[in-house]
Each structure stands twice: as structure tokens, then as C-alpha cells.
Structure 1
Amino acid sequence: MDIAGMLVQLVAGAAAGNGVGKVAPGLSLGTAGNSIVGGLGGIIVSQLLPMLMGNTAVAGTGLDMATIIAGFISGGVGGGVTSLIVGLIKSKMAK
């Protein structure tokens, strides 16, 4: 995916990471932490998802609507799940 697609994944992941922090305040990493972990998780999961699903074709190489929607969905899910996992690890280590 190109830089613009990765930017969509980054923004969606950061938003989802902050959403997880609001919904589960005990797992929040703070606004900056949620944004960083969520953004990175959004990009990483979005890049790994096609490989895990066995899709070897390049999925969307432009900024058409389908690519943007797929980037938001995969980036959001990846960012939210990554923030949740890191928040759980952080809360367990604090005990």
C-alpha cells in the first residue's frame, strides 16, 4: 500500500486506540500513548492481514473509495485491538 493508504490506517488506528482508552479507562495509556500504540497497530495489522488471510495480490494501490474504507476498517480494528492488548499488559504489570 502507498503512503496515503498507510496514513488512513494510521489515523484510523489512532482514533480507535483513543476510543478504547475512553471506553476502558483502566486500560488507557493516555492520549499520546493510545494514539501512538493505536496508530502503529493500525498500520501493522493492516499490512499483515492480507498475508494472514492468504491474499497475495496487492489490495488497492490508489485512494479509491474501497481502499479508503478498507484502510479505515483494518486500521481501526488493528489499532483498537493493539491498544487493548498493550493496556491489558500494562495493567497486569502494574499489579
Structure 2
Amino acid sequence: MDRYVESNWKTQLYTLLDALPSDRVISYGGLARQLDGVNARMVARAMANLPQGTTLPWHRVIRSDGQLADHAGAAEQRARLLADGILLQGNRVPKRYFL
């Protein structure tokens, strides 16, 4: 993938992420389906490489089964989801919160 194409889909990804309602979540695959030639793993890698302190709501992107991903920011993700009013069932976001 050339640098321009990579940059273009990431810009589109960040725009989609920024527009995500505060009371909803989306899966990595859900975002990928909105971007041409992008898969869920590519979205996950892009999300993992967001700069520290970003204002994008990275915490609202979860696995398609509703589980919170197992990563270094998992505790912060959980706290941010709860602060957004998204109630968890254990380590899972109920389907009613999905876009």
C-alpha cells in the first residue's frame, strides 16, 4: 500500500471515529466496512498507534463480540465507557450500545 493511500484511509478512519456518538460503540470490523480495502486488523493497528493524549474517542472501538480488547489501556477504556454512560456486563458491552 503506498503512503498516500495509507494516509487517506487513516484520515477517513479518524473522521469516522470523531463522529461516533458518545453513547455508542463500534467494532473494529464495523469501522473497516466503512473504508475501502481496509480490514479489522488494519483498524486495530491504527487504533493502537494513536498518539498518547489524543482527543479521538478510541475507547468506543471494541471487538465485534462486545468484549473489551485486552491491551494496556483496558482499565482506562472501561472507565471512559462508564463515564460515557455505557453500562458494561462484566467485560462486555451489550449489543444495545452498538451502532
When normalised by structure 1's length, the TM-score is 0.32
The structure whose residues are more often helix, as a share, is 1
Q: Which has the higher contact order (CA 8 A, sep 6+)?
A: 1
Rg comparison, structure with higher value: 1
Name whichever structure is richer in strand by fraction. 2
